[in-house]
Structures are given as structure tokens and as C-alpha cells.
Structure 1
Amino acid sequence: MSGRTDDSTNAIPTDGPAALDDEAVLLVGHGSRREKSNEQVRTLATALEDRLGVPVDAGFLELAEPSIPEAIGGLAPAVSAITVVHLSLFAASHVKNDVPLAVERARATHPELTIQNGSHLGIHPAIVDLLDDRAAAVEAELGVDRATDDVAVVLCARGSSDPDANADVAKLARLLAEGREFSTVQPAFIGVTEPRLDERLHAVAKRRPDAVAVLPYMLGDGVLTGRIRDGAAEFDDDYPYVDAGAGDPLGTDSRLLDVLGDRWQAARTDSVDMSCDTCKYKVELDGYEEDVGGARAMLRALTHQETHADRENVDDDPHVHDAPAKHVAVCTNQTCAADGAPAVLERLRQAARDSDACDARITRSSCLGRCGDGPMVAVYPDGVWYGGVDAADAERIVGDHLDRDRIVSELVDQTL
């Protein structure tokens, strides 16, 4: 697949919802306490203005200025139509809830304006092409060639609580694999969901490839991209028979303008195609039933905004939310798995989702060294290990220990 060298898909139309001299674009980024990340959004906004021939301003969801309402208020006196274009990789809560909420408020504040809301970057040929180039750069750095060497790729994204967004990572990995000579292309995540990067890298190592190219699926070179690079470096140290290296994030590559231009065209012509068939806010998905309903989603968006407003003075990573109060590790190694550990894991997660008080991350674990006494469930930072746990015990572990800090004494195997 070759990169687009012409602007045919982004050609400026001669007619449409507004004349070009009466239209503007608002490019919405997330916002960061790191000004370098915010400058990336502004740089893309300037380049997009040159590409489209219409005014393009940058606005931010949080942590940076101008906010979406401020940006729209600044454009409103000069134009009659504003198209909102998202600088978001996938459609999760920000794209599905937070930006639409801001747009609805802006429409109420500026009834004279036509405000069109676009979609996220999503899956696009230009992005697949860009990732292919990022992989080639890692190959060159490692001195390997996919045509003659066994080169595996791990595409690592942030991870989301929205299964629709996570599924798009898998789709993007598959598209990158199609028609190319990689031995495999596998998706991974740096947080929130599974498989995590280290787990995926260890699994890929079993194939004994000559090299592994780890591609951060991130826009900027921030904290999470740094963690991906660190993970690739640790893997490279742990597996001397495999060369591993991490690529660069998407950055401000001009091919992103191809995608943003297409998203602008779709929004201004009322042809935005969102993934409503698999959206957890629209249909019931196993484990996410409580998320169905637009009103609930909007309420969560408001709560999310208030949470960040309360944390404006916190001098930490721009969007790594506060760590959970507890981390629960469930051994799913061979012996525990045979004794029902997967069912225990799922019941714990379901009970945690059903709880209003539970603040815990529940993940798989490799062998905890208590084979024959499992399934084993370890709760940290408390250092309490439960043994012989049955799926029916999950509600008690969540309800008593995770919610109320009351140890389920009859299940305790050991304390550390």
C-alpha cells in the first residue's frame, strides 16, 4: 500500500453546507499538562488549514486551552458553520460522550451557528501505510529485513474500557499484516485492558523470530509512549536471541492530514459513519450492560469532567488516572486453570463492575507458586492470598474485602 500523494479525497468541494469563506474547522485534541503535546495539536491544525483552505483552530477537552466552548466562541463571530474534527485514534468515551456533550452545549449557546460533529481518526489506509513505515524504520535500526528475516510486529495502543475501541486495535493489526511479509502482527495494550504489552511480547518470543518491532499506537511522545519503549527495551534484555526495538508514534506526519481531511468531508456532508452496531452505549454487550443508554453516558461524561476539574493542580502524568486502591491477581496457570480459575476471574470482574464501591484492577497472573492449593487470588497492597477460591466466592471477596476492607478469613491461604 502506498501513501497518498494527491489530495483527491480531500479536494475542496464547490458546494456544501456552507460557503468556504463562511466555514471553519475546530480540531479537538485531548489536552495535556505537557505543552509539547498541545503544540502537536496546534501544528496539525495549522497544516490542516493549509490543506483545506479554511480556518482551522485547535481546541482541547481538558488540561489545556482553549477549551471546546472557548474555541467555538472565538470562531462564532466570523463564520456561520463550524465542523468539529477529532484528533482521537479510536471511538471511546471522549468521542462518544464528551465531545458530543460539548457540541450540544455549544449549539444551545450559539443557535445561529451550524455545528457539525465529525468522527475519530479510526481505521484508514493512510494510517496503515504510516505504521508500515514506522515498522520499516525499526527494521533498519535493528539491521533486519522482513523479506529475508523473521520479523514480528506488536502494535501497542493505550487500551480502553470500551470494547469497540479495543476491537479496532485488533483490526488495525490485521490490516497491517495483510499483504506484508511480517511473520505476525499482534495487538497489545499498555494499560486498562488485555493483553498487556509484556504478556504479548513473551508470547511472541515463543515463535523465536529474528526481530520484534514494537509500534506505539500513540499520537505523541508522552509518558505512555515512554512506557512502551521501556517495555521493548526490557524484552530485548530478557531475550538475547531476539532483537527488539520500538518505533516512533504517529506524531505530525502529513498522512494524518489525509485522514483528517476525509473526516472533515464526512462531517460537513452529514455522512459520518460511527460504529453504532457494536457501541456499548447503544447495544447490550456482555459485561457492559449497565452502560447502555445515552443519558447514562452523558451523565458519566459530566462526572468525568468534574473529576478532572478537581485534579487541575495535580502535577503528574497528563491523563493517567489515579491508580486503583487495590490490585487483584488471579493465577490462571495450568493447575489453577484446570481448577476453575478463568471462571473465578470473570466472576470477580463482573462483581467489581456491579459494585458501586469497588476500586480495584483485576488481572490474570502467571504461576503464584501455590500449585494444588488454587485457584489462587492475591490482593495487593494488602498482601492477602486466597486459596481454593471458587467462582461462588467472588462476590464475597469483592463485597467484603474490596468494598469494605474485611478479609474473608476462611479463604485465606497466606498473608505477606
Structure 2
Amino acid sequence: MNAVLFVGHGSKDAEGNEEIRIFVKSVAEGLEDLMVETCFLEFESPTIMQGIDKCVRQGASRIAVVPITLFSAGHAKIHIPAAIDDAKLRYPTIDFTYGRPIGVHQQVLDILTSRLESVGPLNELGLNQEQGLEETAVLVVGRGSSDADANSDLFKISRLFWEKLKVKWVETAFIGVTAPLMDEGVERCLKLGARRVIILPYFLFTGVLIKRMENMLEQYSERYPELEFALADYFGFHPTLKNILQERALEAVQGESKMNCDMCQYRLAAMEHIDHHHHHDDDHHHDHDHGHGHDHSHDHGHNHDHDHSHDHEHKHDHGHEHDHNDHHKHEQHTPVHANDSGDNK
């Protein structure tokens, strides 16, 4: 029997954990003939291993582990694959596959558009009217990670979102860990000429960071009374997210996932310095003295000495055309590295 084990981050807030369980049940409704279970990385039970144990007890012979995380950072690249390594040693006859996180997906843009409408109907915001375009900026704000790959994915999503919307600017910032921070993002929007800034939080969960953003928004309004600021709903468990997670689950069950770091030599090297059990007390210990011969050549060459002058027309597939003859230049963002897993928030 095929099983899908969804991995939530876990929270100290019981309501947040229950929200994940309810959401996974709704996802399971579209996964016929599959056993579907839920587990958590931290703060809540069952753990990943306990979730795997339950699947095996119920007769699973193949288990697809699917992370409910926005991006592939520390949790998705290190902690979850390490738990799968342990499970392979415990259950050598079980076939394990690993699914992808939510990541960059076309339907993510639909979710963001829906969340943007929480500020008000798009036609009232001027997002579908030419007169509002030259003064509107959307600032997509993520949690921030020490993983450059995860941070770059948010920038890619922002760019794709700009292609979809008829606003002059869609900028990117983070609430912590790395630059540009939210204050810097807002300042950039204003320097570019925006008179309306809509902040769009890219988080799965509400919490203290959303409240912090609400407080920061009040400060912006007091500092710039002549300008308009608004905070849209956070990404969250949107109904469309069910489709993405069902897709990720079926990919994993069918062995079609393109996860680029499961069993990767870089992950194994990092494991030597990281407590991969991640706050869970397991009643077993496995010596990871097994080699993986995957040659992952990661070329991280960055050339930031470039100037983007947008003196050309942007034509979009979705049926509208607009001319960005604004001669604006994208400034450099200097990354700041710190320890944070950042995949899920």
C-alpha cells in the first residue's frame, strides 16, 4: 500500500497544529487509494519517525514523505532527509520517496493575487486601472533564511508576480535573518516613487511576526501621513494550496520528484555539524556511515555588477500590455547570513 506522510513544521500553539491536521484531511480527499498521515518537525507529536511507524503498522510498503514548507531550506534539505535515512535503516524493506516543498509554482501566484484582494477589490485599488499603476508598489515579505537558495526563490516569485500584475513595482524583503529587511524594502519602494505600498506577507502561519508587521505598518503611516500603506492577508492555508500539495504527493508516490538534495554530498557533510534529530528524543541511534555517490556540482557564481534599465515594453501572456518606460534601476541587495532554517514560514 502507498502512504503519504505530510510533514508540518509544528508550533507551540495547539490551534496552529490542529489547523495543519484539518488542512491535511482536506488534501487527503483528493488522494484516493492512498494512506495519508500527518507528522511534525518539532513542538508536536507525532514526530516524523512516529508518523512512519504508524504508516508501517497500517500496512504501508511505500511511503512518500512530503514537506509542508514554502521553500527548500534547512528543514527540507537536512532534517527531513536525515529522518528518512533513519527510517530506511529501521525499515529496510520499505520503499521511501521524498517529495518537494511548495516552492515556485504557478498556482502560488493565484494565491498571492487572492491575498492581495484582502486589502480591497483589485479594481478599487487601481491594480486593474491605468491611473493607479504608476504609484502602486507591492512588497512581498518573507521570513528570511540563511539558505541563499530559499531566499532566491522568493525573489523569483516576486518577479513572476510582477509579470502577472499591472503594478509598476513588486519588490522583495524579509522580516529577519537576511537583507533587504522590511524597512529597507519599504524605503526602496518610496524612493522609486510609490505613493501606495501594499505589504504581502509570505508566511504559512500567523503569529508574532504578523503582529510585528502590523505595528510597523502603523509606524509607516505615522511617518509618511501623505502616503498609503496596507497589509494584505498572509499566504496561509489557501484552498488552492490543496491542489499544490496533492500534486507534490502524487509526484513523490510516482517517484517523479526532482528534489535536488536528498542524499546529496553537501547535506551529508553538513550533517556532521548539525543535530539532525531536531528537538526529538528518539529511542535509537544510527551511525550514518554510508556513502552516497552523487556528484552535485553547485556553481554559485554571482555577478552583481549589472544595471537593469527597463526602457522596453513588457508583453504578458495573460492578455494585457503595458510600457514600463520608467528608467528605474534595481539596486543591489547585500545578503546577510545567519543561522535559520527558513523553509516554512
**TM tier relative to shorter chain:** 0.7 to 0.9
1:252 alignment partner in structure 2: 237
Specify the code of the residue in structure 1 equivalent to 2:39. Answer: G
> Is 1:72 paired with 2:52?
yes
Give the one of 79, 82, 95 matched to 1:114.
95
SS of corresponding position for 1:31: coil
Hey, what does 2:21 align to over in structure 1?
Answer: 42
Q: Secondary structure at the match of 1:293?
A: helix
Give 1:374's aligned residue: none
Identity %: 31
Q: Distance in 1 between matches of 2:240 and 2:103?
A: 13
- Equivalent position amino acid for 1:181 in 2: K
Other structure's SS at 1:215 match:
strand
Report how far residue 203 of structure 1 moved. 1.5
CA RMSD of the aligned region, Å? 2.6
Between structure 1 and structure 2, the one with the greater Rg is 1
Q: Give ranges in structure 2 of 5+ residues lacking alignment.
A: 282-333, 340-345
Q: Retained in 2: the 8 A contact 1:208–1:242? A: no
Partner of 2:10: 31
Q: Provide Cα deviations, 1:164-221, integer angstroms capped at 9, x if missing partner.
A: 0000010000000003211100110001000000111012112342321111100011
- Checking the alignment, whether the CA contact within 8 Å between 1:26 and 1:84 is kept in structure 2 is yes
Alignment of 1:317-336 (within 5 A): none
How many Å apart are 1:258 and its aligned residue? 1.3
Which deviates further from its counterpart, 42-51 or 261-270?
261-270
TM-score when scaled to structure 2? 0.75
Q: Is the 8 A contact 1:40 1:251 kept in 2?
A: no
Aligned residue runs from structure 1 range 59-138, under 5 A:
59-78=39-58, 79-138=60-119
How far has the Cα of 1:270 moved from its partner? Answer: 2.1
Give the CA deviation at 1:90.
0.6
How many residue pairs end up in the alignment? 281
* Residue number in structure 2 paired with 1:413: none
For 1:30 and 1:179, locate their aligned partners in 2 and report how far apart those are by CA, in whole Å: 30
Q: Is the 8 A contact 1:152 1:185 kept in 2?
A: yes
Go from structure 1 to structure 2 and tell me whether the alpha carbon gap of 1:75 and 1:274 turns closer, same or farther (over 3 Å shift).
closer
Shift of 1:304: 7.2
Choose which of 167, 179, 185 in structure 2 pairs with 1:200: 185
Secondary structure at 1:178 match in 2: helix
- The reply on whether 1:184 has 2:164 as its aligned counterpart is no
- Does residue 226 of structure 1 match 2:211? yes
Match of 1:407 in 2: none
Residues 55 and 234 of structure 1: is their aligned pair in 2 closer, same or farther, counting only changes over 3 Å?
farther
Q: What is the CA–CA distance in structure 1 between the aligned matches of 2:272 and 2:15, rounded to whole Å? A: 31
Alpha-carbon distance in 1 for matches of 2:277, 2:167? 40
Structure 1 residue ranges, 4+ long, deviating more than 3 angstroms after superposition: 139-143
Assess, with a 3 A threshold, how the Cα gap between structure 1 residues 190 and 142 changes in structure 2: closer, same or farther.
farther
* Structure possessing the higher relative contact order (Cα contacts under 8 Å, 6 or more residues apart): 2
Paired residue type of 1:266: E
TM superposition score normalised by structure 1:
0.63
Higher alpha-carbon deviation: 116-125 or 240-249? 240-249
Using the TM superposition, give the Cα deviation of residue 141 of structure 1 relative to its aligned residue in structure 2, in angstroms. 9.6
Alpha-carbon offset, residue 275 of structure 1: 5.0
Q: Is the 8 A contact 1:139 1:213 kept in 2?
A: no
Question: For residues 260 and 96 of structure 2, what CA distance do their matches in structure 1 show?
Answer: 21
Contact 1:142 1:244 (C-alpha < 8 Å) held by counterparts: no
